[in-house]
Amino acid sequence: MEVINNLKSLKSLNKYLFRYRKSLLIGALFVVISNFFAVIPAQLFRKGLDLIAKQIDDISKHQSMDIKEFDKHIFTYAGLIILMALLRGIFMFFMRQTLIVMSRKVEYDLKNDIYKKFQELSLTYYRRNNTGDLMAKISEDVSRVRMYIGPAIMYLINLSTLIILIVTLMLSVNVKLTFFALLPLPFLALGIYFVNNITYKRSTFLQEKLSDITTFAQETFSGIRVLKSFSAENETYQKFETEADEYMKRSMSVIRIESLFTPLIALLVGFSVLITLYVGGKEVIKGNMTAGNIAEFFFYVNALTWPVASLGWTTNLIQRAAASQKRINDILDEFRDIDDSKYLANTIESINTIEFDKVTFKYQNTGIIALKSVSFKIEKGQSVGFIGATGSGKSTITQMILRNFDVTSGQVLINNEAINKLSLESLRSKIGYVPQDDFLFSDSIKNNILFRSDDKASSSAMEEMYKSAEIADILKDIQGFTKAFETEIGERGITLSGGQKQRVAIARGLINNPELLIFDDCFSAIDTNTESIILHNVFNYLVGKTAVIVSHRVSTVKNCDTIYVLEDGQITEFGSHAQLLEKKGYYYNLYSKQLAQAELDELVKS
């Protein structure tokens, strides 16, 4: 039942086959023509052998032989056989150039469709799925589907046309010999199918182990600093060696099964040749056929051997492709919980107000209620701070403003209109966002800062880059590098310090002159003195702009117009820095502790 359901998933590929129907039809025509040239040499060889047999018979009867006429016929047959082989090779080339190229085009389209879908899916989907599995779907699964679109379809067309052509020709010569000559071939197909089936299952386990090794190695390289800090190299190597040993054992089990493939073909083809020789010889003795017909049948059996043998392999390819396509369909059919397709035309000119109206949000994958009936309003030009302990809901608010998640209840309003009825591109294009994880791409500093810029080579973009780097207090650091802004920073910015990465991320958030700036606890790796410089620069830059600043440090938000204190997903206090100190609540206590800690740190330094 599972196999049948998987096979049904291949129907979704019909739209791609229809898109390239011209290549498919022309490729099928080339298959037929190449097979036509493949069977003609058998008849020519038969005629040549019959001619030789006739001449031998004439000599035995003491009849004269015309040597020139004999040579003429033999060389004609030989020349035609060579010509047929050349023509077949040409059309096989055309066949592959159409069908295999078509499969590559489908692979290209399918990967683009999957990647586009990945872009459309919300963060909720990525919380439920690991990166390795998603990468496998867009690479290995698509490759397996391509093997169905290309080689599998090509071999099926090849086999079906060859069977029709050859069986028809064989039956026209001798029905009895046809039956016996083809008798071992179904067993060959079944044998290859079972061998491939076992190979597929073992290869699947092998692939899983390879995935484990790849994931282990990737995590090791990503966490190399931690690994070396704890002197865990030997322990890690032993774990890797254990995983590699298991992979080798599984590889050997696959190789042992695959080693049955060639002997199985040789055995059953040998049986077919012996049967043809025995039965055909008896038919020749009876006068029902000639010796040339036996040679003709040898050609036919040989021509059918690989296509029939490939039937099991092709069936296996189809099964693999069906299973992979089902996984791909699961992505393409995934529900878009963040969907603005109906409101693409509903753009906004400016972000004038942001309002949370009794917003409650629950993370579906964990069941954690991050926000509980939160309400507030931000006017254009205001700077608003959110402060609270870890897990209090600060970052969730920024994700709500960006609409990376939709509310569980309540409303988020932009310009008094529900955020889920606005164009996401229009909304996000007006926001500069600096996340707390300061993710940087494996690229140059320049391309990381100008990530959102439309024209990275323009003079205005260069000016903006320098200005943003100066505001983020990273310009001097960058200019101190040998290649300055062209410095490659490695995977996730590994060549930079934590503070440098955060400052590059801040510079990136300032590009394109956004109306709304969101700083999501992005000063955690920056010392207080540098933070003070950056905040001074930022607040000068923020004139006329709106800012949302999230932090666990009072020093980061104290200059904001309004500060909201979050505890367990609820707003418990709000007001300016001075107003909150007067209330002597959570904010006051937090400020007192952090102030005392800062004074202690200064005392230790002195």
pLDDT at 207: 64
Each residue's pLDDT tens digit, 100-139: 899 899 989 889 988 888 887 777 777 777 676 777 778 7
Report the candidate in 12, 3, 5 with the shortest Cα–Cα distance to residue 328.
12
Phi, psi dihedrals of residue 446, rounded to the nearest 5°? -55, -50
Q: What are the per-10-residue average pLDDT scores of the chain (606 residues)?
A: 62 87 91 87 77 67 64 79 88 89 90 86 74 75 85 85 84 81 76 71 68 72 70 77 79 73 72 79 78 78 74 75 82 79 84 91 83 90 89 88 88 90 87 84 84 74 85 86 82 77 86 87 79 85 86 86 90 89 87 75 59
* The model's pTM: 0.73
Q: Which residues contact 208 (CB under 8 A, 6 or more apart)?
A: none
Each residue's pLDDT tens digit, 484-543: 888 888 777 777 877 888 888 888 888 888 889 998 888 777 777 888 888 888 888 888
Show me where the domains of the chain are located: 2-332, 341-429+550-606, 431-514
pLDDT at 283: 78
Distance between CA atoms of 385 and 394, rounded to whole angstroms? 10
pLDDT at 174: 79
Q: Are 509 and 433 in contact (CB under 8 A)?
A: yes
Tally the C-alpha atoms within 13 A of residue 447's C-alpha that lie toward its C-beta: 11
Write the single-letter amino acid at 331: I
CATH superfamily of 341-429+550-606: P-loop containing nucleotide triphosphate hydrolases (3.40.50.300)
Tally the C-alpha atoms within 13 A of residue 31's C-alpha that lie toward its C-beta: 26
pLDDT at 360: 92
Torsion of CA 242, 248, 252, 255, to 10 degrees: 150
Residues β-bridged to residue 379: 353
List the structure tokens of 499.
């503070």
Distance between CA atoms of 202 and 214, rounded to whole angstroms? 18
pLDDT at 58: 61
Q: How many CB atoms lie within 10 A of CB 182?
A: 21
Q: Are 557 and 523 in contact (CB under 8 A)?
A: no
CATH superfamily of 431-514: P-loop containing nucleotide triphosphate hydrolases (3.40.50.300)
- 2-332 matches 431-514 in fold: no
Phi, psi dihedrals of residue 412, rounded to the nearest 5°? -110, 125
Strands of the 546-551 sheet, one edge to the other: 431-434, 516-520, 546-551, 383-388, 562-567, 570-575
CATH superfamily of 2-332: ABC transporter type 1, transmembrane domain (1.20.1560.10)
Bridge pairing between strands 562-567 and 546-551: unpaired
Computed on alpha carbons and rounded to an integer, the radius of gyration of the chain in Å comes to 37
3-class SS of residue 230: coil
Q: Are 247 and 203 in contact (CB under 8 A)?
A: no
Evaluated on CA atoms 309, 311, 312, 313, the torsion sign reads: positive
Each residue's pLDDT tens digit, 64-96: 556 777 677 778 878 888 898 899 889 989 988
In angstroms, how far is the first alpha carbon of the chain from the final one?
76
CB neighbour burial string for 435-465, b if at least 16 within 10 angstroms, e if fewer: bbebebeeebbbbbbbbebeeeeeeebeebb
3-class DSSP string for 155-186 = HHHHHHHHHHHHHHHHHHHCHHHHHHHHCHHH
Torsion of CA 219, 391, 534, 464, to 10 degrees: 60
pLDDT at 1: 47
Mean confidence (pLDDT) of the chain: 81
